[in-house]
Amino acid sequence: MKRRTLIIIIIVFLLLLPYGITLSRYVVKNIRNYIMEANNFFFNSDKLVDGGTTYGINNWGGAGNIEIQFELNNHKNNLLTSDSDITYTLSTTCDSSVICSLNSSSGIIYKDEKTDDFVLTVTPLRPFNDNESVTVNVTAVSSSPYVKTLSATFVITVGKRGIDYEITDSVNSPYFMFSITNALDTYKVVSAFNGHNVGDILTTNEYLALSNDLKSKCASVVVTLTFDPSIVIIDTTSDILKKSTFQTTQYNGVDYISSITFGIDAMTNEEVRFYKRDNSKNYTYPFVNDTPIVTFTAS
């Protein structure tokens, strides 16, 4: 009977061992952080975290560079900051199909300066197609006065080849900007003319040789932005509405634009302003939000 009980205890111990190891690591990590914070040591970031985290970025065009901005700082909040300077190193690794670089690989966060800003640049070594992705890792390690590691993984996916987009916003701003960058250098026929069928591809020189009327039958890319007018309202004074088709939705008995479709020229940028009904929101995409408040599609 005693032997049977011993065997049961051993089995239970073996089953709980992985959880015990995980728990012990958790406890050690929190004790370590408590000691560091008790000594007014704070080494943090707006994107990198202790233990690591993963970001999904789905707005890359796969042709040009993508830049990711982040910071390292020495504060826990507006009131608590480190009592000493923090020495650190910074490194990055990535897939062999891209080059990843940082504008700095080491430094010191001086106690009075509070933050250091960085830019991670990812450069493709080949054209990427829709839904292809690359993985980039960034690690920051403080070496003095305490050792602490922060890290993040960025999984960058091509949404629509050649087209990048982002939302730039901040808390208390009455509006945000939806920015689109078209890196394509070709045009597509969207309405047949002179022997050209819908979908035919024209070079930039062929497009520029057309009359203005025939140019209107082509676009480098056709973009549709869809949004909820009970949350955001498009700037109706924008010139982009003059070349757009749009749909409306009623909100509180009033017709509001809820979707616009427009063409974008090759190698150009477009910006669309949206007003927020709630200024306390921050609709920045990516990073702050996993999905954009304005849905983007391109063809």
| Three-class DSSP labels, 153-205 | EEEEEECECCEEEEEECCCCCCEEEEEEEECCCEEEECCCECCECCCCEEEHH
Residue 9: the pLDDT is 52
Greater confidence, 283 or 144? 283
User: Are residues 176 and 117 part of one domain?
Assistant: no
For the chain, the domain total comes to 2
Greater confidence, 146 or 192? 192
- Reported pTM: 0.78
User: Are residues 167 and 91 part of one domain?
Assistant: no
Q: In which domain, by residue range, is 224 found?
A: 163-185+220-298
Helix (H, G, I), strand (E, B) or coil at 215: helix
pLDDT digit string, tens, across residues 247-293: 999 999 999 999 999 999 999 999 999 999 999 999 999 988 989 99
pLDDT grade, residue 28 (50/70/90)?
Answer: very low
* Structural domain includes residue 30: no
Look up tokens 């869809």; give the residue: 226
CATH code (residue 111): 2.60.40.2310
User: Are residues 249 and 145 part of one domain?
Assistant: no
User: Are residues 71 and 121 part of one domain?
Assistant: yes
* Structural domain includes residue 200: no
User: Are residues 229 and 121 part of one domain?
Assistant: no
